[in-house]
Chain A
């Protein structure tokens, strides 16, 4: 069966510091991978998605970036965090071609 991992589970970072969140999927090949952000009490905002290694589509212009160095690894990064980057970051996967997305446990990020 497929599983999706995210780490860290929680993170407190100062403004201006760098960020690296990692997501890995097991039990499937060539998945679509997605990064979402959810602000407190708000809906899911799609940040990036990837249909293959090195292929990244950005949905919202901001100071975040994403990379997919391996088939089942998706990384969300920032060089300098802003207060507005605080939120709940979710990674998700689907089969190639889309369809149902399955979410990882999420990372709660607080930027102070």
Chain B
């Protein structure tokens, strides 16, 4: 059965800290991996990764995929209180039109 596992489940840090969120997967016919940020509303898209070793970067957020070891990490540097959210990882297999979501990592950033 296809599955996506995120760790840690929850993380509490202070502003300015750097955090690393993990996503591992077991999926038949992997197509892509996506990261979303969810505050108290709908998830917003962050990154889509399809190739190993190529870092995607947006401001203080970056992500990379390892298709050999079947995982991805999301890094956030110099965290701010506005980074507090649930971060969701999802994987899309080929020929399904569906995403398989992990349960998310809840990040809390305190001043």
A positions within 8 Å CB-CB of B: 32, 34, 42-44, 46, 49, 51, 90, 94, 97-106
- Contact between B98 and A98, CB atoms less than 8 A apart: yes
User: How many positions in chain B have a CB within 8 Å of any CB in the partner chain?
Assistant: 20
Smallest Cβ-Cβ distance to A44: which chain B residue:
B101
Q: Mark B43-73, 1 if CB is under 8 A from A, else 0.
A: 1110010000000000000000000000000
A39 to B102, CA, bound (A): 14
- A49-B97, A98-B97, A103-B42 provided; 13 other pairs, C-beta below 8 A? A34-B98, A42-B103, A43-B88, A44-B43, A44-B88, A90-B43, A94-B97, A98-B31, A98-B96, A99-B92, A101-B90, A101-B99, A105-B42
A99-B32 in contact given A32-B97, A51-B97, A105-B41 (Cβ < 8 Å): yes
